[in-house]
Amino acid sequence: MENFVVSARKYRPDRFDTVVGQEHVVQTLKNAIKNRHLAHAFLFCGPRGVGKTTSARLLAKTINCTQLSADFEACNTCDSCRAFNANASFNIYELDAASNNSVDDIRGLVDQVRYAPQGAQYKIYIIDEVHMLSAAAFNAFLKTLEEPPPYAKFILATTEKHKILPTILSRCQVFDFHRIKIDDAVKQLKKICESENIQAEEEALHVIGKKADGAMRDALSIFDRIVSFSGNKITYADVISNLNILDYDYYFKATNMLLSGNLAGSLLLFDEILNNGFEAQHFLQGFSEHIRNLMVCKHPDTLKLLEVAPNVAAKFSQQSASTSSTWLLNSLNLLNQTDFNYKLSKNQRLHVELALMKLCNLEKAIQISTHQPMADEKKKTDVTSSSSISPEATKPIEPKIPVETKPISFQEPTSNAGKSAIDKLKEKIAQQKELEQKQVQVLDTNDEPTVENKPFTEASFNDAWNQYISVLENSGKSRISVFLKESPIKFLSEVKVEIELKSQLEKDTIEEERMEMIPMLRKQLQNFELDIVFTINKDRIVHLGKVSKSDQLKRMVEKNPNLGDFVQGLGLEIDY
């Protein structure tokens, strides 16, 4: 029985021009060989399965070849190339740093460096997974790596560049390997299919390339698995069945149902997906990617980001033409929030079904939000046109602060549990100040104000102030009313009043009421230029330590009569 060799080994590149997806690295290395500008140490970095170790072996083989071709490729016929191909070269050493990561292992390697190569120009050391070396091993390797003999070359490979010591990085020529593009992976798989007499649908190869996630070795492993499953004919249906991938058609059907508002159909489709053994979150993530692909199809310049087979790309373009960018953006936002909160939900199926219900009504919500401003504008136009014959036209129109329209959002309210009370208070004060500035701007920019500002006296302000304090008491804000009753009032100008408080706590508490206080007083006094400033005078603080306990209690009851009722409700006696 013939021994089976996996495709990753059988079709491993044996020349630089067969390396997949790393043209920038290959061209640089070939130019270095051509110009004889070879560094003494190389570091190949990148994800798994993209050709780092393969490129290291090709470099080692090529620089020791005695009969380089015109395009600076190894000849595969000289003694050095034949010894390398037979894994019998005495001048090329491979060390797996994952299992040989101690100081003794590196010392043994350093001892070998002192011996010259046999029958070749260079002695080459390939150290794979070099980031696994211990710190002591790295330090033992530093001196040799910086000043090796002229015949010694070091090629290091790693998937985790950030774990390499900076002292090692500075002594190496670093090459960053890219993830393999889906198109490059598909081209390589097509070549293998031709070599193995395998018929494969291009759409199926695209799914394999996408599932590999940029690793050519993973793509070849998946390819071998599919061949074992389906034989010499690879179909799209066999691939998605074997790899547990949800079919594109489900997402196309779901999108059409949601756009048409077919809630029952979308829920039944979701139930069918669950019955086929797919996770609800798997559907969410796949549907989010589907909506993203539809958005990509909206502009010709972004079509290259659509990494699917040509026939599937045509379906995406067709469906994208029937959807609006607003719907796609809001859908993507909703699906992202649903996926983010999926693990936190106790009823995960209902969590996804609720998102589908919202998506079914999304188109109607967009239409309402779009037509509402048009209706308001039409209403304003009708009022303006009818004002020419209406006696009300002579009355001034009261200025209004424009209301900002907000985009449609299905996001759940953000929790403020992580914010302190002071942070919340500061935010509210900042919002109130911003609102006051907008009101002032509207009044300032209006050429014909509706109400003429009337001057007010100290007596009229005190009357309005006392009325406002009564409103606070009646609304259950007696603590704030106590602060204001005891606070001296000082008139800084005709429209500016200063209220003197005892502490920052009082100021922060009262600032929270500015949003209601200022408009009420301005309306009462019929002067919209009124401004109230709160200052702190710590000299007004009463030091209770110098007062007797009975006087302290009496003063506290005077400030807050509810305290006396509370004490009496507990059956306690108050001795003044």
Residue 167 sits in the same domain as residue 312: no
DSSP-derived secondary structure letter, 345:
-
What is the Cα–Cα distance from 171 to 36, expressed in whole angstroms? Answer: 19
Q: Contact, 409 vs 333, CB < 8 A?
A: yes
Q: Which of 345, 365, 385 is the last residue of a domain?
A: 365
The CATH number assigned to the domain holding 156 equals: 3.40.50.300
Domain count, the chain: 5
User: Which three-class secondary structure state does DSSP give residue 170?
Assistant: coil
d(CA 326, CA 320): 12
Q: Are both 237 and 272 inside the same structural domain?
A: no
**pTM for this entry:** 0.59
Asked if 156 and 190 sit in the same domain, the reply is no
pLDDT at residue 387, rounded to an integer:
46
Token pair of 150, please?
A: 């002229």
Any residues with CB less than 8 A from the CB of 180 and at least 6 apart, and which?
Answer: 20, 21, 49, 50, 209, 212, 214, 215, 216, 219
**From first to last of its 576 residues, what are the pLDDT tens digits of the chain?**
457 888 888 888 888 888 988 899 999 999 999 888 889 999 999 999 999 999 999 999 999 888 888 888 888 888 888 888 888 888 888 888 888 888 988 888 888 888 888 878 899 999 999 999 888 888 888 888 888 888 999 999 999 999 888 888 988 999 999 999 988 999 999 999 998 899 998 889 999 998 888 899 999 999 999 998 888 888 988 898 888 888 888 999 999 999 988 999 999 999 999 998 889 999 999 999 999 999 999 888 888 888 888 888 888 988 998 888 889 999 999 999 999 999 988 999 999 999 999 999 888 888 777 666 665 665 655 545 544 444 444 344 444 434 444 444 444 444 454 556 566 666 766 776 676 565 555 444 444 444 577 888 888 888 888 888 888 877 777 777 777 877 888 888 888 888 888 777 777 777 777 777 888 888 888 888 888 888 887 665 554 444 556 666 666 766 666 777 776 666 665 554
Asked which of 176, 197, 231 is the last residue of a domain, the reply is 176
Backbone angles phi, psi at 47, to 5 degrees: -65, 175
DSSP state of 150: T
Taking the CA atoms of residue 288, residue 293, residue 296 and residue 297 in that order, the dihedral angle to the nearest 10 degrees is: -140
**CATH code, 191:** 1.10.8.60
In a domain, 372, yes or no: no
Q: Is residue 114 part of a domain?
A: yes
Closest CA to 531 of 399, 384, 427, 433: 433
Q: Is 454 within 8 Å of 527 (Cβ atoms)?
A: yes
Give a yes or no: residue 402 inside a domain.
no
Q: Residue 259 falls within a domain, yes or no?
A: no
At 471 the pLDDT is 83
Residues 224 and 278 in one domain: no
Q: Is residue 565 part of a domain?
A: yes
In this structure, are residues 506 and 500 in contact, taking their beta carbons and an 8 Å threshold?
no
Query: Which among 313, 315, 317 is positioned nearest to 298, based on CA atoms?
Result: 317
Among 354, 358, 449, smallest CA distance to 399 is for 449
One domain, residues 118 and 13: yes
Contacts of 402 (CB under 8 A, 6+ apart): none
**Cβ-contact 151, 63 below 8 angstroms:** no
Same domain, 192 and 168: no
Whether residue 221 sits in one domain with residue 274 = no
In a domain, 1, yes or no: no
| End-of-domain residue from the set 365, 388, 403 | 365
CA distance 148 to 154: 9
528 and 444 both lie in a single domain: yes
Coil, strand, or helix at residue 347?
Answer: coil
Taking residue 194's Cβ as centre, other Cβ atoms within 10 Å add up to 10
Structure tokens at 468: 């406002």
Q: For residue 353, how many other CB atoms are within 10 A of its CB?
A: 17
**Three-state SS for 106?**
helix
Alpha helices in 163-243 (DSSP H): 166-169, 182-196, 202-212, 216-230, 236-242
Residue 535, helix vs strand vs coil: strand
Do 558 and 531 have their domain in common? Answer: no
Query: Cβ(157)–Cβ(56) under 8 Å?
Result: yes
Cβ(90)–Cβ(121) below 8 Å: no
Whether residues 444 and 549 fall in one domain: no
The two three-digit tokens of residue 203, written as one number: 């759409």
Tell whether 373 is covered by a domain. Answer: no
Same domain membership, residue 287 and residue 218: no
Domain assignment present for residue 379? The answer is no
137 and 43 in a common domain: yes
Domain that holds residue 464: 421-540
